[in-house]
Structure 1
Amino acid sequence: MKPLPPLPTGDVHDFDFLMGEWTCVNRKLKQRLTGSDDWDVFTSRMRCQPHLGGLSNVEETVFERGFSGMALRLFDVRERRWSIHWIDSRHAVLQPPVHGGFTGDHGRFYGEDTEGGRPVQVMFNWTRLGNDRARWEQAFSLDGETWETNWVMEFTRATATG
C-alpha cells in the first residue's frame, strides 16, 4: 500500500464554523469496497460544542437509524494539526483517529483503520459552504491511490441565519 499523503496542518479556528446545532442528510454506501453504488439515505441531528478554549470540540450526533455517535476533535498546538476520534453506540469502541487541517474552506484528514479485516487508509474531506451549510465525506483506499467515498453528510444549520 502506498504511504499516506503528507498530513495537512491547520488552525485552532478550523472548526469554529461547526459550533451549534445542525440537521444532516446522510448518504452511506450499503457495502463498502465492493464496487457497489447502492446508497442508504437517512437523516440525523448534530450538536457541536467547543471545549478547552477552542483546542477541542465534541460533536454529538443522533441518527434516525437508532444509534448515536460522538466525534472528539483535538488541536495539537505544536504540530498545528487536528486529530479526529469517533465512537458510536453500536460498538462503543474509540476508532483510530484521522489527522489534518483546513486550507481555506476545505479540510482534509488522513488515517489508517481496518474494514472487513483488511487494512484501509481513511480520508475525511470537510467543506464549508457558507455560514449555514457544510459537507463531510469519508473515503477508504486499499492501495493508497484509488479512493471510494462511502459516506457523505450534508449539514444545514438548525437555526439558519439566512
Structure 2
Amino acid sequence: MSADTRYRPGPGDFDFLIGTWHVHNRRLLAPLTGSDAWEEFPGTAVCHGTLFAGAANLDEITFTTKGFSGLTLRLYDPRSAEWSLNWSTSLSGRLSAPIVGRFDTDRRGEFHGEEAHEDAVVPCRFVWSGITADAARWEQAFSPDGGGTWETNWTMSLSRTG
C-alpha cells in the first residue's frame, strides 16, 4: 500500500510561501465605485520561514515603485482550525483587523473579515489559489452588500525567484 499523500489543511498551510517571490500586483484604483481602471506594479516578497512548528509565519513585501512595504503575520489557531492573517504597512505601523479562514483539501484558502475603506468598514475576502512549488495567486475582494456579492480589487501573482 502506498502512503496517503492527500493534502490536509492545518499547520504548515503557508509553508509553500517560504522564500523569495516576484509579485505582479494588479489593483483597482477606485474600489466599490463601478470603476474598471486598474494599476499594475511590481513587488518583491520574502517569507521568513516557519514559526511555531508551522503554525505561524511572517512575510514582507516591498512595493518598489510605491515607496512602502507591507508585512503579514499569519497565525494558526488549532482549536478553531483557522488562520488569522494580520497586515501592516510601513506607512501605518499598525496591524489591521485579522482576516480569518482556512484552506480546503484542494489547497484553496478563503479568509473573511473587515477592512477599512474610505470612511467605512466593509466586508473583505482574501483567496489564495493556484499554489504550486513556484507560483501562487492571492486576491482581495470587498463586498458592498454584506457578503452577497464581491468585487475583486487587488490581485497578486507570485512567482518564485531563483
TM-score higher than 0.5 here?
A: yes
Q: Secondary structure at the match of 1:154?
A: strand
Amino acid at match of 1:149: T
**Which residue number in structure 2 is paired with residue 55 of structure 1?**
55
Q: Percent identity?
A: 43
- Between 1 and 2, higher relative CO (CA 8 Å, sep ≥ 6) is seen in 1
**Which residue number in structure 2 is paired with residue 6 of structure 1?**
none
Q: Secondary structure at the match of 2:10?
A: coil
Question: What's the RMSD between the two structures over aligned residues?
Answer: 1.1
**Which residue number in structure 2 is paired with residue 94 of structure 1?**
95
Correspondence 1:73 to 2:74: yes
Q: In 1, Cα distance between the equivalents of 2:18 and 2:134? A: 11
Q: In 1, Cα distance between the equivalents of 2:32 and 2:91? A: 21
Deviations 1:97-132 (A, max 9, x none): 101111122100000123111221000000133210
Deviations 1:19-62 (A, max 9, x none): 11101000011111111111110000001121122111001111
**Which residue number in structure 1 is paired with residue 25 of structure 2?**
26
Correspondence 1:17 to 2:19: no
**Which residue number in structure 1 is paired with residue 39 of structure 2?**
40
Q: Secondary structure at the match of 1:17?
A: helix
Amino acid at match of 2:115: D
| Deviation beyond 4 Å, 4+ runs, structure 1 | none
1:135 Cα offset (Å): 0.3
Q: Secondary structure at the match of 1:36?
A: coil
Correspondence 1:146 to 2:128: no
Q: In 1, Cα distance between the equivalents of 2:86 and 2:78? A: 17
Q: TM-score, normalised by structure 2?
A: 0.89
Structure 1: tracts of 5 or more residues without a match: 1-9
How many residues of Structure 1 are paired with residues of Structure 2 in the alignment?
A: 150
Q: How does 1:81-120 map to 2 (within 5 A)?
A: 81-103=82-104, 104-120=106-122
Query: Any conservation in 2 of the 1:119–1:142 contact (CA below 8 Å)?
Result: no
